[in-house]
Amino acid sequence: MVQKKRLFGPKVQNFRLFYALLLVLCVGALVVAYYLQSAQGLAPCPLCIIQRFGFMWLAVFALCGLLRGRLGWLGNALAAFGGAVAVAVAGYQNWLLINPSATCVMDDPHKNFVNDLPTAQWWPEMFKVSGSCTAPLEPFLGLQIPLWALIALLFVTLGFVIRLIRR
């Protein structure tokens, strides 16, 4: 007798729950970033905007995994690669904050490629650069906001790496 592939079997449900958790973390980080910018008046720097792109990239793959039940190795690999890029950007921003003598080369508004991207025109409240990479920030629960972003990006990226390894 031929076994039918179960669309909502227990293993698929576990994968969906896993991808749903990753999606909630990514969307939650984007909502918090938007809140901090619009309600708290924190101006995002170019590195913050690039990290937002990273969260969006990861959210798209998490949504695909949620809807399909699981991602193949290519989907998990692409998500992990994009997440690794975002983690590198977040790590660089945290390094800039630790080393105040360093300057962010992307702070020059004339050479800022982030504001030239279409997203900055489509949704300027979310994707337009208006701050400096080395601006001092108030800690939230003992950690600076860029460090929270780095932790979240690491967690989500590691989730995709684990799915890639454990296929």
User: CA–CA separation, 108 vs 106, rounded Å?
Assistant: 5
**pLDDT per residue as tens digits for the range 20-45:** 999 999 999 999 988 888 888 887 88
Q: What is the pLDDT of residue 111?
A: 46
Q: What is the chain's length?
A: 167
pTM of the shown model: 0.81
In a domain, 5, yes or no: no
Percent of the chain with pLDDT strictly greater than 70: 83
Is residue 128, in this structure, part of any structural domain at all? yes
36 lies in a domain? yes
Number of domains in the chain: 1
R_g of the chain, CA atoms, integer Å: 18
Host domain of residue 24:
11-102+114-166
> Do 90 and 146 touch, CB atoms closer than 8 A?
yes
Does a structural domain hold residue 67? yes
Q: The domain that contains 69 carries what CATH number?
A: 1.20.1550.10
Q: Is residue 121 part of a domain?
A: yes
